[in-house]
Amino acid sequence: MILFDEVTKTYDREVVFKDISFSMGRGEFAFLTGPSGAGKTTLLKLIYGAERPDSGQIVVSDWIVSKMKQNAIPSLRQNVGVVFQDFKLLDNKTVFDNIALALTIHKKHPHEIRERVNAVLREINLIHKANISPPYLSGGEQQRVVVARAMVARPIVLLADEPTGNLDDDNSEVVMKLFREINARGTTVLIATHNEGLFRKTGNRVFYINNKYIEKEMVA
């Protein structure tokens, strides 16, 4: 499902990864961890085509991402959902419209959009806040909307970067439960986090990046 084969990535002259290889199976739920600056965000960006490797091969489902032309990247993005802390919601749009955006861009029928957005809003327990805008929500509610926005397109792969970084324990648990539900429907999920508490005793695979490569791979 996700395959890295001897991938090297540098920014200017700084080497982030040197010949890293790893793979994840379809429907797997895994974590990525390691010190600040180790390259967690960069690795996720390589998966969804926001950064290019210097060498090596990256495959996601049927796409050879490392060989894709720039104009093919949008088709990859339709199938790879991302939940990044700095992917802000649009404050001047309602919760409903924020979630609907991905479907509107792909010209889905308005009736289908309404059904699908309402279904995810029920799932995140925010149907009663559909028509208000993000600044009037709590941090935990906003993060649930960010997850819903990624879910609604029914991605093949879901990537999350410190998705609980700004959340208290209760809200973290709610967001992690949503990821589990998305995964139960077949989506492959990869979560980058510093927070060991998120993966402790989950039984999932954890990739630990340090010193420019995947130093350890363990089962939590």
Residues in region 138-157 near ligand ATP by CB under 6 A: none
The type of residue at 18 is K
The size of the interface with Mg ion (CB under 5 A), counted in residues, is: 2
Beta bridge partners of 190: 30, 159
38 binds, among ligand ATP, Mg ion, none (CB under 5 to 8 A by kind): ligand ATP
Report the alpha-carbon distance of residue 147 to residue 159 in Å, rounded: 10
d(CA 25, CA 17): 22
Closer to ligand ATP by Cβ: residue 43 or 121: 43
Residue 187 touches which of ligand ATP, Mg ion, none (Cβ within 5-8 Å per kind): none
How many residues lie near ligand ATP (CB under 6 A)? Answer: 12
E strand or H helix that includes residue 24: strand 14-24
**Of 11-19, 60-68, 79-87, 174-182: span binding ligand ATP (CB under 6 A):** 11-19
Beta-bridge mates of residue 161: 84, 192
Q: Among 20, 39, 148, 191, which residue interacts with ligand ATP (rule: CB under 6 A)? A: 39
Does residue 164 bind Mg ion (CB under 5 A)?
no
Q: How far apart are CA 204 and CA 157, in angstroms?
A: 16
Task: Rule CB under 6 A: say whether 11 interacts with ligand ATP.
Answer: yes
Q: Which of 30, 38, 176, 206 binds ligand ATP (CB under 6 A)?
A: 38
Instruction: Measure Cα distances from 28 to 2, 9, 91, 180, 203 in Å.
Output: 10, 25, 34, 10, 11
**Interface residues with ligand ATP (CB under 6 A)?**
11-12, 16, 34, 36-42, 194
